[in-house]
Structure 1
């Protein structure tokens, strides 16, 4: 409710005036919410995961390992909110909802007897000071690449927001603060400058020898062979991040192995939809050039039929050309469609992308359901239909923050059924 009021005020108050008072408002609300719920983070271990990609997957893998080790957990990420065994979908279309929500969530976790709360920590949440007055025990850093550039004003500001999360975690009032960071990412050097009491690194070298298959991968960590049902090299990184944190908590590699080998993945992240068809259909959240390329790489060697669009509302317009060019390079068939236009003209978004494709002729199908149906109709045995951009997003966002209920996975299932009638 308060965030809705803030959105309204932002539209009617001059931007300079709004920008001057906004930080004080957010910090004040963060403090008030912590007071109302009696600073719950002081009474539970808080594990935050930040980075450009992999946050949701890492939170879920960490949660699975902790549960395998017999720890009682709470979980907050883009997909769901979980306290012990009770779980509900995240319908907010944001990883870190408002400050009162987060503090209330943590209070419920404490009251339920949870030992750990595993949280996604985002740059946009940090810019709105939603991480304030949360006492962190550990921070897991995945990677850093350009994203949310328009929202932050520059890549430097985006990086600064991520580092503010690290600074908050390092200066936490907890006795022990742990940083787990990706040694293969250049930005890790900046995170290592923060004053954590313990710092641990992970690298792809920790998984060698590894072998990636279409249906998962095998790796060897600390001399222990592990077989995962997840796809792609990026998920090796995600699992290494979770294992490294678990080891910092005294959890054995054998327990990590058991958890990972039973973990089948999460909705909207390389999610395969199987209705008995003889081709592969994948729904994935990939919405940046880097994540799109990595997804397409997983399905090299197959005919790739790709459904994609881009977000409006002034969000990362620079991505349109780049993602279109990646699709042109990697996809055999390209279907451009509506995604989340917000206040932008959806046709202009798609046209901008189409103009960047010069060597192939993309299909332009504005209705997302029809675009998915078109992709499925083009598929033949052994092909891969890759539907990206929304993952588990529960809405298509339109003008003035209007929301149209949506589920890529549900629509795929419905269209597959229609196709096989």
Structure 2
């Protein structure tokens, strides 16, 4: 509707009367007749440079941050194109988040496992849920691998997915909500009902500049739980606005305070004595992870078919979610117990070799430490040690590289630094950043190797593995490419590990 384009805060250059909008995009390659093109200024390119091409391709109007000369279509001049893109996409798809309960899961680590656990629990409780996450998208019960190299996609993609969920009769939408998605306004026009914090540690400082800014981005999700003129209470969809916070995380008080300030309910989980969903104990066995917990004085145990003690917190976040929206606790536990694994998360590769091989997405200092702290005792119990193969992404947070080198060197017999996603950075420089941390930890030259080629690094680790050892392949997990400056190398960590093991004669 033309009148919708002439909104408060928008300076309209030209007339929008008779303008027929048939789609919204910020990608000039997607423009067709009737598209509203939004020009976004990015770190590598400026969308305003592509406006003439978008108009030639059929754009019926353009959203810009500065007026452009000699355009034959109306210009909507705004202060922030990214936020305008989110608003326009929500408008175009009919504001679908107002018609479905929306759960946002944020945190440095654990988002993917928590989201898949939540989807399983909601389904078991009779509440079909759509999912947008790092490893998969699910709409109407159909799950597809996420081919994007992004956890939280751009606003038009998200709004289209939400509309599809509503059309497929999904009653909930679970969205892994990253700091990038929050800071870059990709989720600005999504009306969240539930916000869940898994944890908060050092990550993504290349975007945010400081840990405080990183935390502020995460906090904004909880601040938006407020019911106000911009986000009125939903009618016939959604639940009481609730912030669910890991009570054991040092940043928990800030997130509780943000939720309280928004006027939303607060639920906490963890081992902290004050937690609403309190962790009482963890029993690891070959059959899984038994998590004893208490909710409002009622004790229960959920036995996960996942390894890693850190998954106890992920599971209790979902128990808290079930409590917040009044699901049957027994159904929630059944759903949690039914999830048999998460791609690229503590994934075992076994071809009958005398040493263990684990593929895990761990790509932050905290997640690498958590995984190694799980694998160290496990290897020791088999009379072995740990060998770690990992890298660090190019054009991303440099500060974490030496941290990860130090963490690995302190916990492993051998560390092999390799490519993760170098992008446009010098591969050797990335490995040197990791090496600096390993040297600080006292790593001997023979215990720290730099092998940029990831297939070669994996084979070097297997060649050095002894019976009882565990080789951790960290950082890629489920991802299907390794990103270089001029190409993306197709990649599957599990398949590459299996191929390397077969070359050594292990095929069972």
CA contact (8 A) 1:279 1:380 kept: yes
CA contact (8 A) 2:202 2:366 kept: no
Where 1:282 maps in the other structure, the secondary structure is: strand
- CA displacement at 1:342 relative to structure 2: 1.2
Matched, 1:304 2:360: no
- Change in CA separation of 1:354 and 1:10 when aligned onto 2, cut-off 3 Å: closer
Match of 2:266 in 1: 199
CA contact (8 A) 2:40 2:82 kept: no
**Given the alignment, which residue of 416, 435, 457 partners 1:371?**
457
Where 1:357 maps in the other structure, the secondary structure is: helix
Match of 2:44 in 1: 11
Bigger RCO of structures 1 and 2 (CA < 8 A, at least 6 apart): 1
TM-score normalized with structure 1 length: 0.93
Match of 1:17 in 2: none
Which runs of structure 2 are paired with 1:125-204 in the superposition (5 Å)? 125-171=181-227, 172-175=231-234, 176-193=240-257, 194=259, 195-204=262-271
CA contact (8 A) 1:216 1:232 kept: no
- Matches of 1:61 and 1:126 in 2, distance apart? 23
Matched, 1:360 2:444: yes
Where 1:184 maps in the other structure, the secondary structure is: coil
- Matches of 1:149 and 1:28 in 2, distance apart? 25
Which whole-Å deviations, capped at 9, do the CAs of 1:82-134 have from their partners, x for residues lacking one? 01221111111111111100000000000000001111011101111011111
- Matches of 1:259 and 1:371 in 2, distance apart? 38
- Matches of 1:165 and 1:147 in 2, distance apart? 17
- Matches of 2:348 and 2:26 in 1, distance apart? 38
**Given the alignment, which residue of 393, 404, 422 partners 1:323?**
404
Max radius of gyration: which structure? 2
- Change in CA separation of 1:257 and 1:281 when aligned onto 2, cut-off 3 Å: same
- CA displacement at 1:40 relative to structure 2: 0.5
CA contact (8 A) 1:337 1:365 kept: yes
CA contact (8 A) 1:393 1:406 kept: yes
- Change in CA separation of 1:12 and 1:126 when aligned onto 2, cut-off 3 Å: closer
TM-score normalized with structure 2 length: 0.77
Match of 1:346 in 2: 427
- CA displacement at 1:7 relative to structure 2: 8.3
Note the residue ranges of structure 1 that are not aligned, 5 or more in a row.
Answer: 15-19
Where 1:258 maps in the other structure, the secondary structure is: helix
Match of 1:101 in 2: 157
Matched, 1:208 2:257: no
- Change in CA separation of 1:9 and 1:355 when aligned onto 2, cut-off 3 Å: closer
Shifted more, 112-121 versus 180-189: the winner is 180-189
Where 1:66 maps in the other structure, the secondary structure is: helix
CA contact (8 A) 2:348 2:359 kept: yes
Q: How many residues in Structure 1 have an aligned counterpart in Structure 2? A: 415
Which runs of structure 2 are paired with 1:111-130 in the superposition (5 Å)? 111-130=167-186
Where 1:382 maps in the other structure, the secondary structure is: coil
Which whole-Å deviations, capped at 9, do the CAs of 1:246-288 have from their partners, x for residues lacking one? 1212223322222222212200111112223332211111111
- CA displacement at 1:23 relative to structure 2: 6.6
- Matches of 2:134 and 2:242 in 1, distance apart? 23
- Matches of 1:297 and 1:215 in 2, distance apart? 20
Where 1:221 maps in the other structure, the secondary structure is: strand
CA contact (8 A) 2:389 2:474 kept: yes
- Matches of 1:145 and 1:281 in 2, distance apart? 26
Note the residue ranges of structure 2 that are not aligned, 5 or more in a row.
Answer: 1-24, 30-38, 48-64, 67-77, 235-239, 273-277, 380-384
Match of 2:15 in 1: none
- Matches of 1:210 and 1:11 in 2, distance apart? 47
CA contact (8 A) 1:286 1:388 kept: yes
**Given the alignment, which residue of 270, 275, 284 partners 2:346?**
270
- Change in CA separation of 1:237 and 1:9 when aligned onto 2, cut-off 3 Å: closer
- Matches of 1:376 and 1:2 in 2, distance apart? 45
Shifted more, 383-392 versus 204-213: the winner is 204-213
Where 2:376 maps in the other structure, the secondary structure is: coil
- Matches of 1:23 and 1:236 in 2, distance apart? 44
- CA displacement at 1:12 relative to structure 2: 5.3
- Matches of 2:175 and 2:414 in 1, distance apart? 38
- CA displacement at 1:225 relative to structure 2: 2.4
Matched, 1:226 2:312: no
- Change in CA separation of 1:352 and 1:280 when aligned onto 2, cut-off 3 Å: same
- CA displacement at 1:202 relative to structure 2: 0.7
- Matches of 2:464 and 2:140 in 1, distance apart? 43
